[in-house]
Amino acid sequence: MGFRAVGVRPPGAGPRQLAGPGDWSLLTGPLPIVLTVLGVLSLAWLLFSRRRTWWLRWLPLALLVSAGLAYLITVWVDDWWQPFPDGLPTTSAIWIGVAVLGVVLFLFRLPFLRWRGWILGLVCAALVFAYAGNKVNQEFQEYPTLSTLPGPWQAQPGALAIGQKEPTLHVPEGKTIAEVWHKPANLPARGTLAKANIPGKLSGFTTRDAYIWLPPAYAAKQRPLLPVLVLLPGQPGGPEDWTTGGQLESTMNAYASAHDGLAPVVVSIDTLGSQFANTLCVDSQLGKVQTYVTKDVPTWIQTNLQVGSGRKAWTVAGLSFGGTCALQFAVNAPNEFASFVDMSGQVEPTLGSRSKTVNDVFGGSTAAFEAVNPLSVMARKKFPDTAGVILVGDSDGTYGPEQRQVFAACQAAGMNVTFVTIPGGHSWGVWKVGLQQELPWIAKQDGLTS
């Protein structure tokens, strides 16, 4: 048990050459610089006019309207809609204000423009919007390249082909899979990403499709019973986020390439039901999510895939909301998961406050909340057979202190835990690198390597 800090390359950096515009980085390099220059110039054009009335009347009014709209959007998101418990970061709120300003300035300029000016003004407003939007994206790093932006150009993985059962590789007791594995000559160079619906037969929970990555070794005719890594999304979010912001395929293929095709089978599942829902990953009127993750998902995987069995072969990991959930499942379903990775999770499951959470989800019962709250459970019970990683960005001022509380509670509960810091804040720049860095630990815990 202990602490470690991880040094990484700048977010968005990669070892391969850019193959085309779809691979252009939205986080670093020339494209963000171009967007910044064009955005600033466009904002300057929208602000400037030779008319004296513009400077004395219309520009001050436009600035006032923009500030008011930006404030209302922030209040609507944080206080009324509440799609996530922690509210908008201040920097994101500022950039939303810049985007609103670009649109409002264009609308206020319309009466003073001819049709050519309308076109130029529309282009400028769009560039300001794109500039501000990418500044928010640079904060969270959810869309690292052009091809990861939502749209019809995103190549969707096909449906999972279950295929036939294969003879399995025998691993003697006390040995790891890597120690007895011999890479076949015709093994694929890369793993396979596919989608599948994992129904909530016991839970009744309705979810979006899961994303499943099968390593090259899964294609072997003498198939090793590989361990399973279950990935959980943040909130708001969905299973596909691990393939876009998390760059799951490149991460897993790189690991498999360095280990003769061996890697965990990865299943990125839905614990929300929709993009902005917040189920808290518990069984409640919001959905029986704990039953879904700890019963429906393992049963489906064991039925449809040839993978390792027993808690030692299974790890659950997640980010932010999903990190909180990963710890919840580790302590509330210890027979399913022997190890977990909590990336930037909260100190407890929450809708924003303890009182709101208890009232809205647990019917006002503090006892019901404490029955599943990880820190409350760990205060009552020891977990000497559970291993975990508590991971957070070193500049994450909100979740860093909370993760240290979680780490201390895990230590007190007898877990074999490590506290990891990675350069960055509350963003995919941390979580993507976190998965890359912790894969060797996961493989060792799951019996894949020694």
Residues 285, 280: Cα–Cα separation, whole Å? 11
What DSSP line would sit under 369-389, residue for residue?
A: HHHH-HHHHHHH---TT-EEE
Domains for the chain: give ranges and CATH numbers.
28-140 (no CATH), 157-445 (3.40.50.1820)
Chain mean position to CA 328: 17
pLDDT at 408: 97
| 236 prior amide bond cis, ω within 30 | yes
User: Quick one: which of 330, 310, 300 has its CA closest to 203?
Assistant: 300
Neighbouring C-alpha atoms within 13 Å toward the C-beta of 209: 13
**How far is Cα 238 from Cα 269, in angstroms, rounded to an integer?**
8
Considering only CA atoms, which of 248, 281, 263, 171 is closest in space to residue 217?
263
- Average pLDDT of the segment spanning 42-61: 89
Give the lowest-confidence range in 8-22, 24-38, 56-70, 78-92: 8-22
Furthest-apart CA atoms within the chain: distance in Å: 85
Q: Mind listing the pLDDT tens digit for each residue in 427-439?
A: 999 999 999 999 9
- Model confidence band, residue 17 (pLDDT cutoffs 50, 70, 90): very low
- What pLDDT, on the 0 to 100 scale, is given for residue 7? 45
Percent of the chain scoring above 90 in pLDDT = 72
What are 85-123's pLDDT values in tens digits? 666 778 888 899 999 999 999 999 888 878 888 899 999
CA-based nearest residue to 213, from 140, 266, 259 = 266
Gap between the terminal Cα atoms of the chain? 18
The values of phi and psi at residue 119, to 5°, are -65, -45
Distances (CA, A) of 281 to 1, 175, 205, 381: 27, 35, 11, 20
Averaged over 286-314, what is the pLDDT? 96
pLDDT of 73 higher than 90? no
pTM summary value: 0.85
CA distances 424 to 25, 116, 128, 138, 396, Å, are 18, 44, 26, 11, 7
Distance CA 101, CA 95 (A): 10
Measure the CA–CA gap between 146 and 134, rounded to whole angstroms.
11
Both tokens of residue 228?
């399973």
Please report the pLDDT score of residue 82 as a whole number. Answer: 64
